[in-house]
Homo-oligomer: A and B are copies of this chain.
Amino acid sequence: MINVSILGYGTIGSGVFEILNKNKQIITKRNSGEIRVKSVLDLRDFPGDPVEDVLVHDFSEIENDDEVQIVVETMGGLHPAYDFVKACLEKGKSVCTSNKALVAAFGPELLSIAEEKKCNFLFEASVGGGIPIIRPLKTSLAPDEILEISGILNGTTNYILTEMTEKGADFETVLKDAQDKGYAEKDPSADVEGHDTCRKIAILTSLAYGSQVDFEDIYTEGITKITERDINYAKKLGAKIKIVGFSKRNKERISAMVVPKLITSEHPLYSVDGVFNAILVKGNMTGDVMFYGQGAGKHATASAVVSDIMEASKHMGINIKTIWESDKLELVPFEESVSKFFVRFSGTSEENTPKAVKAFGDVMPVEAGYNDEYAFITKAITESAFKKAAKEVGNIINKIRIDA
A contacts, CB < 8 Å to B: 19, 22-23, 26-27, 29-32, 124, 130-132, 135-136, 139-145, 210, 268, 270-271, 278, 283-294, 297, 299-300, 302-304, 306-307, 310-311, 314, 318, 320-321, 323
Contact = CB atoms under 8 A, between A and B. Distances in A.
A18 to B, nearest CB: 9
Contact of A135 (B136, B210, B297): B136
B29 A210 contact: yes
Contacts of A23: 143-145, 284-285
17 contacts: A23-B145, A30-B210, A32-B321, A132-B132, A132-B136, A139-B307, A141-B307, A144-B303, A268-B271, A285-B299, A286-B294, A287-B300, A288-B292, A289-B293, A289-B294, A291-B291, A291-B292
A115 B136 CA distance: 23
B271 A300 contact: no
B30 A323 contact: yes
Given A19-B285, A292-B290, A304 B144 contact: no
A286 to B, nearest CB: 4
A291 B140 CA distance: 12
A307 B142 contact: yes
B135 A306 contact: no
Closest 4 CB pairs of A and B: A132-B140, A143-B306, A289-B293, A290-B292
A130 B135 CA distance: 15
Of listed A29, A143, A287, residue having the most chain B CB within 10 A: A143
B310 A283 contact: no
Contacts of A284: 23
Contacts of A290: 278, 290-293
A19 B19 CA distance: 40
A124 B219 CA distance: 37
Given A32-B321, A143-B27, A292-B292, A283 B311 contact: no
Of listed A31, A303, A304, A321, residue having the most chain B CB within 10 A: A303
Given A30-B321, A271-B270, A321-B32, A143 B289 contact: no
A19 B143 CA distance: 8
Nearest to A281: B293
Contacts of A294: 286-289
B323 A303 contact: no
Given A30-B321, A136-B136, A289 B141 contact: no
A303 B321 contact: no
